[in-house]
Amino acid sequence: MSYKIGIIGAMEIEVESLKKEMTVTRTLTKANMEFNEGKLGNSEVVVVKSGICKVNAALCVQILVDDFKVTHVINTGAAGSLDAKIDIGDFVVSTDAVYHDVDATIFGYKKGEIPQTGCREFTADSWMVENIKKAAETAGITGKLWDGRVCSGDQFISDNSVKDSIKKEFDGLCCEMEGCGIAQACFLNNIPFVILRAISDKADGSDIMDYPEFEKKAAKDCAALTEAFIKAI
């Protein structure tokens, strides 16, 4: 099977190293996003900075599907840890994704469930998850790789009480601001996806002064693991 993989990062630091490593054959700007199509190793890819938050992320997926006919999508970037065992510098690969900020419980829905859809969790592609795990063994990364749930919402989580509430409700491993938007858009288009996140903070406001440096390293490490995954398949 031939693959064409859309690689989405929310910020420039999450995609710049990937763009440097690929051979770009076409560039398209649409919805204020620059799509870079070409090859990374022997694989066809489209690398794009979506911008932050769920709407940007979902729009980005739709353009990848409509204009570039991607077969798979990977979301790479930084995230905050929701679990004490997951440290800054570790990685989370998604088994599924949920919205932590969707709440229609007053109508009898579960917290996080999208009304009238029957959807609360969006399941990542098992083949992509397993191959990221294999790539991690040879990518030269130092952090541990964990697999589990990614929780997304239009909030930067920096308060322990909010963090604990999300952890208690959804039992996720990390929180960020795009993954589930990407997951839902992929689900609606029947496109396999995976979310790969490097941990940049503890989602509790600690070490916030050092966050820019942690974020930069997390983005670089996550891109390196993404590149190893792409080149290995």
Task: Choose, from 14, 44, 176, 215, the residue flagged as catalytic.
Answer: 14
Based on the residue annotation, tell me whether 14 is a catalytic residue of this protein.
yes
Task: Choose, from 44, 201, 204, 227, the residue flagged as catalytic.
Answer: 201
Residues 6+ apart with CB under 8 A from 95: 123, 124, 129, 147, 148, 149
Q: What is the C-alpha to C-alpha distance for residues 23 and 39, in angstroms, rounded to an integer? A: 5
Q: What is the C-alpha to C-alpha distance for residues 165 and 167, in angstroms, rounded to an integer? A: 5
Number of CB atoms found within 10 A of residue 233's CB: 17
Beta-bridge mates of residue 93:
147, 196
Q: What is the C-alpha to C-alpha distance for residues 13 and 171, in angstroms, rounded to an integer? A: 29
**Where would I find the H helices in the chain?**
16-21, 54-68, 126-138, 160-170, 179-189, 211-232
Cβ(224)–Cβ(9) below 8 Å: no
Based on the residue annotation, tell me whether 213 is a catalytic residue of this protein.
no
Burial class (CB in 10 A: 0-12, 13-18, 19+), 197: buried
Residues serving a catalytic function are: 14, 201
